[in-house]
Structure formats: C-alpha cells, structure tokens
C-alpha cells in the first residue's frame, strides 16, 4: 500500500476525479489492448477467415495443423535461434564495452573511467534513435552484392571473391548477417544501461578488490557481473522479447523470408497468414504460440537467474 | 614517469608498482582501440548513407565510395514530393504529437491514482498493465484490426493515434508509478488541508513535481512512437495516411530495379535527422533516465 493512501470520502470531487483519472485510461487499455488479446485466444480456436460472419469452433485444430506446417515450424526454429543468440551476443558486447568505459582508464591508484567516454557513449547510442525499419534499409544497402559498402570495402582490400557476394541471399550468411544488424542496433542502449548499473556499485568495492590484487578481468568477472546481474536479467528479457518479434528487421532485410526461408520468423509468417491470406483463426493460433514462447522464455531467464543465485525482484519496471 | 633519483619516493607514495601502471596504459590503449573501432562501425554506415543521398542511382551503382558529381538536393526534392515522404512526414508528426500528449496525460493520471490511492482492485489493475507490457503486440494485431474496423477508425489517423496511446500506456504508467510513489506525502496533505480538491492537487501540485520523470518517459515514448512499425503497417493501409516507417517499408518491398536509390537514401536521412536531433538535444536527460531505470 502506498504510504499516503487513505480512504477518501465519496465527494463529487473525488468521484469525478476517479472516473476520469482511472476510468478513462483503463477503458482505453481494456478496449484496445486487453480485449484484443482475449479475442485472439478465442479466434485461435476457430476456422475464421475474417470476411464471413460465420465460423466454427474447431478446438485445437489450428494448433495440430501448426505442428504439421513445415514452414511455420521452420519459423519457430529461426525465432528461437534469434532469441538465444541475439541477447547473448548483445549483452556480452555491451558488458565488455561498459567495463572498458568504466574501469578501462589509466591512472594511479584509483579505478577510473576511460577518457572521452562521453563521446563513445553518445555515438554508440545513435542506432537506438534510428527507426528499426531504417536500420534495416541502411544495412540492406550496405550488404548489396554489387553496389554495397561492405563488398566495396572487401574488394578494395583485395578480396575479389566478395565482388558480388550476396550476403542476404545465401542460406549460410543471411541469418548471421541479420543478427549482426539487430545487435548493431541494440548494443549502445544496453551499454548505457550497464554503465549506469556499474556506476551504482560503490567505488570502495573496486578499491578493495584492487588492493587484494585482483586484476581487471577478475574484477569484472567476480565483482561487476554478480553485482549487476539484475540489470543483466532485465536486459536479457527485453532483448529476448524483441528478438522473438524481430518483424521489422526481417521485413526490411528479407521481406520474403530469405533464401530457403532461412530468416523467416514467426511474426512474419503470422502477418502473411492474417493479412495476405486472410486466415485469421490460423494466424491467431500462431499469435498464441508466439505469446507462449515469449512467456516461456521469460520464465526460463527468471529461473536460471534464480538457480544461479540471483535474487528475484520482479517489481522492477 | 619520474627520474631514477625519485623512484624511492614514488614507490612509497603510489600503491601500485610501475609495471602495473604500464599495464594500465596498455589496458587504456586497448580499450580506446576497441571503442574506436565500434564507433567507426556505428558511424560509417550513417555517413555512407548521407553521402549516397546526394548521388544519382547510376553513381550509386558505379562505386560505393565515389563522391557525387554534383552536390545538390534533387534526391531530397524527389523523395519529399514524388515518393510522398513529405506527406508521410506530416502524418507522422500529427500522429506522434497527438499520441504523445494524450498518453503522457492519461498515463500520468492513471499512474498517480494507482500509486497514491487505495481502492479495491488496485493490484489487479497493476498486474493487468504488467500483462499488457509483456504480451507480444502480434497476438493482439488481428482482433485489433477488427475492433478498429467496427468502430470505423481503421485506416484513419485518429484510429492510429488511439492505438498508439493504448499500447504506450502500460510503459508510461509503470515508469510514472514508481515516480509518483517516490514523491513526499506531506505536500499532497498540505494541499488537501489548504482546501485543494483532488483535481487541483494533481494538476497544480503533483504533476509539476513529476516533471523530470515525465520528461524521461516522454523521450522514450517519442522514440518508440516515431519508430513504430507493426501497428501502422497492419492498421493503416490507406497510402494517403501512411506514416514514415511505412513509406520506408514501401521502398523495401518494391522490386529492386524499380527503386530510385538516390531518393531512398534521401528519405532515410529525412527520417533519421529529426530523431537524431531530439536525441542529441536530450541525450543527457536520456542517459540520466536510463540510469534511473536501473537504480530503482
């Protein structure tokens, strides 16, 4: 209970206040967020196509159909790979950079940050301010086989075999390159988050470790990471949820799912099923699967963090 | 470094031996190298985009590095007018501004009530908001399409605004919730004793006190709404009402050779510059709010 909360008398002032302040936002939220979620679960049990008024409740039919749908299962696999690799790589890089910036400076005695750190922070954060669709478009041009920046640089360095290498058009490279683009977009933001968390650790802790003879890597591994593990957990969950969606990056880089569907993800397949083919019931079932995978992912991260000794503070916004 | 004669003094006054100092330098050097490489990886694509936005499509295909033959704004003009970016830009400004103002007001009001009043169902509403924050928007997108169609707001700007508000609400409420809880009680009590009603207490006392928190949330909401993609793509398919991200996606999905690459790059610059300006103006605030988020 909030400290200052006390039951108010039901005056006109109070009642009108509550209706407007609580009722209005809540009504909006229920109609446009919660109600569609509930409907989606219901539609997932039907064969509705959206353009006819009638439809039949077919129970779990859509879900068994999904299990036999090789394209959707491929998309599920790709999404899961994304949800595992993207957060891991992003967090490792962001943590490494945050550590370099906060304790990489040279100086006598005291642990201190690197010089010009604000420059690195501002620059690394740029991608976060760029719309995801634009990030995708920029990188699609960079990876362009003939006119792109990357192959221009590589051939300039004498690697002629890359003169028209289709980075996004080969099964072997399309997914890694896509992951790189997503990581590029998020490292800066999480670096800032970790810098803030590291700065919250008292300087004395680092001093003590240093006096005890711990090196930088030892300090980062045994002190920084355990003390900011809650930030890491938050980052993991956010990144995982984002990677399980990934719709916008995929639409920009490979709108049709990539070579041999190698970059097709659940959200793309859902969108196509709903708005191109009009199979709304079936698409809703995909949405339910996506939601279940997302919740499972969050649950796994929480559990792993708890088993490995972190404290659970679910209230963190 | 000091001269040999002063070595004794140095050793006594500095806890680290000299070798560790040299190690410090090496670490700093490596750190700078790594971070500079990353900065190049971030900046180079953006500069290349800027450069390409001045080139004709033929120049773009001739060489990725060559400078444009003439520096002019032809691509910008054609992107703004014939590719419709000007129109999309205006739509985006309208939608984002309206949605931002409404969601900040409604979000602050809702958070204030949840944080400082005691009534039955308070916790349930709080957890409902949490659910709205964690569930993927994709699950809701199909029914949302029909909800909007039934109230006649599909493919309209007001429809888009109201959806933006609804989906930005949980985040806003969460952030402002912790903020309002942190405000001291005494001031609200003093206002009540002075005879201010609930409405006046909020608008004249509590809301002004919450300004720093409002600013941080507003920046994040601005970035989030300006960059919003799925909601407009699914719910706003009338090309006259497109927002910028849809215009960009239009470039992405049209067939390769038909694309005017010069205006594509120009359109990218037009889309990125306003957000980068907002970011650079508010970057201190933004970094502050990132740290606030983790300290809580």
**What average pLDDT does the segment A127-140 reach?**
90
CA distance A195 to chain B (A): 8
> How many angstroms separate the CA atoms of B286 and A125, rounded?
10
Question: Which contacts (CB < 8 Å, 24+ apart) does range B204-209 have?
Answer: B206/B112, B206/B180, B207/B108, B209/B183
Residues of A in contact with B198 (CB under 8 A): 8, 13-14, 17
CATH code, domain carrying A222: 1.10.3720.10
CATH number for B189: 1.10.3720.10
Is A105 in the same domain as A20?
no
Q: Which of B110, B131, B248 sits opposite A134 (nearest CB)?
A: B248
- Residue A46, helix vs strand vs coil: strand
In a domain, A316, yes or no: no
Cβ-Cβ contacts under 8 Å, B179 against chain A: none
Query: Could you tell me the pLDDT band of residue B288, with boundaries at 50, 70 and 90?
Result: low
Which secondary-structure segment (H or E) carries B1? none
The DSSP secondary-structure symbol of B156 reads S
Among candidate residues B191, B211, B186, the one with its CA nearest the CA of residue B201: B191
Residue B32 lies in a domain: no
Candidates B77, B231, B275; CA nearest to A247 is: B231
Same domain (yes/no): A140, A89: yes
Residue B58, in any domain of the structure: no
Report yes or no on B45 lying in a domain. Answer: no
Contacts of B220 (CB under 8 A, 6+ apart): B171, B175, B286, B289
CB A48 within 8 A of CB A280: yes
Nearest beta carbon to residue B226 from set A131, A139, A188: A131
For residues A28 and A95, membership in a common domain is answered with: no
- Using a CB–CB cutoff of 8 Å, tell me whether A145 touches chain B: no
The beta-carbon neighbor of A43 closest among B16, B142, B166 is B142
Provide, as residue numbers in chain A, all residues whose Cβ is less than 8 Å from the Cβ of B28. 104-106, 114-115
Q: A122 with A248, same domain? A: yes
A52-61, A100-109, A150-159, B128-137: segment of lowest average pLDDT: A100-109
Residue A267 in this model has a pLDDT that exceeds 60: yes
**Is the domain of A29 the same as that of A72?**
no
Structure tokens belonging to residue A237: 């969950």
Is a pLDDT exceeding 90 seen at residue A292? yes
pLDDT mean over A283-293: 93
Answer yes or no: do A131 and B293 touch at CB < 8 A: no
Average pLDDT on A40-53 reads: 83
Residue B108 within a domain? yes
pLDDT at A290: 94
Residue A294 sits at the chain B interface (C-beta within 8 Å): yes
**Option in A13, A43, A123 nearest B43 (CB):** A123
> In terms of Cα–Cα distance, which of B249, B245, B267, B274 is closest to B75?
B267
- Residue in the block written with tokens 């006594």: B12
Residue listed under structure tokens 């985009």: B49
Tokens of A244: 């399980």
Q: Tens digit of pLDDT for each residue in B122-171?
A: 999 988 988 888 888 888 988 999 899 999 999 999 999 999 999 999 99
Q: A-contacting residues of B 72-101, CB under 8 Å? A: none
**B25: Cβ–Cβ under 8 A, 6 or more apart, which residues?**
A106
At CA B121, angle to CA B119 and CA B123, rounded to 5? 100
pLDDT above 90 for A266: yes
Contacts with A262 (C-beta within 8 Å, 6 or more apart), sequence order: A78, A171, A174, A175
Q: Does the beta-carbon distance from B34 to A101 stay under 8 Å?
A: no
Is position A106 within any domain? yes
Check if B14 contacts A (Cβ < 8 Å): yes
User: Which residue range(s) make up the domain with A3?
Assistant: 1-33
Largest CA distance in chain A: 80
Closest residue in B to A107 (Cα) is: B24
Q: Give yes or no for A63 touching B (CB within 8 A).
A: no
Residue B93 is predicted with a pLDDT of 93
- B149 in contact with A, Cβ within 8 Å: no
Q: What are phi and psi of B64, to 5 degrees?
A: -70, -15
Cβ contacts from A onto B, under 8 A: 324
Hey, are the CB atoms on A31 and B294 less than 8 Å from each other? no
In this structure, is residue B121 part of a structural domain? yes
Kindly state the average pLDDT of the residues A105-111: 53
Q: Which residue of A has its CA nearest to B127?
A: A315
Quick: pLDDT tens for A241-265.
899 989 999 988 988 888 999 999 9
Residue A191 and residue A73 in one domain: yes
Name which residue leads in pLDDT, B104 or B195.
Answer: B104
Residue A236 lies inside a defined structural domain of this protein: yes
Contact call for B166 and A20, based on CB within 8 A: no
A300 part of contact set with chain B, CB < 8 Å: no
Which phi-psi region, left, alpha or beta, contains residue B274 (left: φ > 0; alpha: ψ -120 to 50)? alpha
Given A124, A251, A317, which is nearest B296 (Cβ)?
Answer: A317
The helix-helix angle for A132-142 and B244-253 (nearest 10°) equals 30
Shared-domain flag, residues A85 and A144: yes
Same domain as A255, residue A147: yes
The domain total for chain A is 2
Would residue B47 count as lying in a domain? no
- Could you tell me if A265 and A80 are in contact, meaning their C-beta atoms sit under 8 angstroms apart? no
Residue A49 belongs to some domain of the structure: no
Report the number of distinct structural domains present in chain B: 1
- Looking at the structure, tell me whether residues A130 and A170 fall in a common domain: yes
- Statement: residue B46 has pLDDT above 70: yes
Task: Assess A6–B contact: CB distance below 8 Å, yes or no.
Answer: yes
Spacing of C-alpha A135 from chain mean position: 15
Interchain pair B268, A280: CB under 8 A: no
Rounded Cα gap, residues B127 and B227, in angstroms: 27
Residue A192 lies in a domain: yes
Q: Compute the mean pLDDT over every residue in chain B, rounded to the nearest whole number.
A: 82
Chain B partners within 8 Å of A290 (Cβ): 136, 138-139
Residue B293 pLDDT exceeds 60: no
Q: Tokens standing for A282? A: 């079936």
- Give percent above pLDDT 90 in chain A: 39
Report the C-alpha dihedral over residues A272, A278, A282, A286, rounded to 10 degrees: 30
Containing structural domain, residue B115 = 74-295
**CB < 8 Å to A285, chain B:** none
Tell me what percent of the residues of chain B surpass a pLDDT of 90: 28
Q: What is the ipTM of this complex?
A: 0.82
Point out the residue among B109, B138, B253 whose CB comes nearest to the CB of A255: B253
Q: How many residues does chain A have?
A: 317
Q: Which two tokens stand for residue A271?
A: 């969108």
CA nearest B229: which of A274, A257, A271? A271
Average pLDDT over residues B69-97: 88
Query: What's the rounded Cα separation, in Å, for the pair A74 and A265?
Result: 8
User: Given an 8 Å threshold on Cβ–Cβ distance, is A134 in contact with B249?
Assistant: no
Q: Using a CB-CB distance cutoff of 8 angstroms, which residues of chain A are in contact with residue B185?
A: 3-4
């Amino acid at each position: 209970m909030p400290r200052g909360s006390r039951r108010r008398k039901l005056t006109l002032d109070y009642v009108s206040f509550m209706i407007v302040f609580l009722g209005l936002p809540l009504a909006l939220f229920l109609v446009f967020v919660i109600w569609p979620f509930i409907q989606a679960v219901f539609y997932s049990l039907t064969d509705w196509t959206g353009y006819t008024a009638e439809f039949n409740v077919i129970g779990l039919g859509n879900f068994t159909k999904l299990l036999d749908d090789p394209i959707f299962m491929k998309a599920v696999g790709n999404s899961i790979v994304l949800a595992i690799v993207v957060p891991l790589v992003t967090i490792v890089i962001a943590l490494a950079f945050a550590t370099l910036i906060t304790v990489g400076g040279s100086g006598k005695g005291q642990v201190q940050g690197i010089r010009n750190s604000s420059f690195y922070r501002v620059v690394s954060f740029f991608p976060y301010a760029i719309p995801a669709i634009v990030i995708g478009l920029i990188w699609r041009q960079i990876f362009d086989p003939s006119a792109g920046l990357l192959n221009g640089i590589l051939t300039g360095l004498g690697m002629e075999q890359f003169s028209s290498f289709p980075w996004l058009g080969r099964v072997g490279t399309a997914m890694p390159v896509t992951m790189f683009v997503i990581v590029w977009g998020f490292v800066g933001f999480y670096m800032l988050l970790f810098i803030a968390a590291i700065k919250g650790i008292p300087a004395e802790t680092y001093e003590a470790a240093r006096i005890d003879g711990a090196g930088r890597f030892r300090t980062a591994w045994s002190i920084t990471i355990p003390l900011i593990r809650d930030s890491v957990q938050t980052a993991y969950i956010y990144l995982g949820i984002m990677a399980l969606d990934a719709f916008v990056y995929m639409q920009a880089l490979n709108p049709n799912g990539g070579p041999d569907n190698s970059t097709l993800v659940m959200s793309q397949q859902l969108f196509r099923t709903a708005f191109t083919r009009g199979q709304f019931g079936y698409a809703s079932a995909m949405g339910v699967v996506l939601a279940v995978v997302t919740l499972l992912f969050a649950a796994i991260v929480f559990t792993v963090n708890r088993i490995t000794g972190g404290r659970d503070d679910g209230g963190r916004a | 470094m000091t001269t040999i004669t002063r070595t004794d003094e140095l050793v006594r006054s500095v806890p680290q031996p000299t070798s560790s100092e040299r190690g410090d330098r090496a670490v700093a050097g490596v750190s700078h190298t790594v971070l500079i490489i990353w900065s190049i990886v971030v900046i180079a694509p953006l500069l290349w985009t800027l450069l390409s936005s001045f080139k004709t499509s033929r120049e773009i295909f001739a060489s990725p590095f060559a400078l444009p033959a003439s520096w002019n704004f032809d691509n910008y003009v054609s992107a703004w007018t014939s590719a419709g970016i000007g129109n999309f830009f205006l739509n985006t400004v309208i939608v984002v501004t309206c949605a931002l103002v409404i969601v900040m007001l409604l979000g602050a009001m809702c958070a204030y009530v949840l944080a400082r009043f005691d009534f039955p169902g308070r916790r349930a509403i709080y957890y409902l908001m949490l659910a709205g924050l964690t569930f993927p928007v994709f699950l809701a997108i199909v029914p949302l399409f029909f909800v909007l169609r039934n109230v006649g707001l599909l493919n309209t700007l007001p429809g888009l605004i109201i959806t933006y508000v609804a989906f930005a609400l949980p985040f806003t409420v969460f952030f402002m919730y912790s903020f309002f809880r942190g405000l001291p009680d005494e001031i609200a009590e003093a206002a009540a004793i002075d005879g201010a009603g609930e409405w006046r207490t909020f608008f004249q006392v509590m809301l002004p006190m919450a300004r720093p928190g409002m600013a941080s949330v507003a920046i994040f909401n601005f970035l989030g709404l300006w960059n919003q993609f799925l909601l407009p793509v699914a719910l706003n398919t009338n090309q006259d009402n497109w927002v910028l991200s849809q215009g960009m996606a239009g470039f992405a999905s049209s067939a390769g050779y038909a694309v005017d690459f010069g205006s594509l790059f120009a359109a990218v610059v037009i889309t990125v510059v306003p957000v980068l300006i907002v970011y650079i103006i508010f970057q201190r605030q933004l970094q502050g709010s990132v740290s606030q988020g983790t300290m809580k």
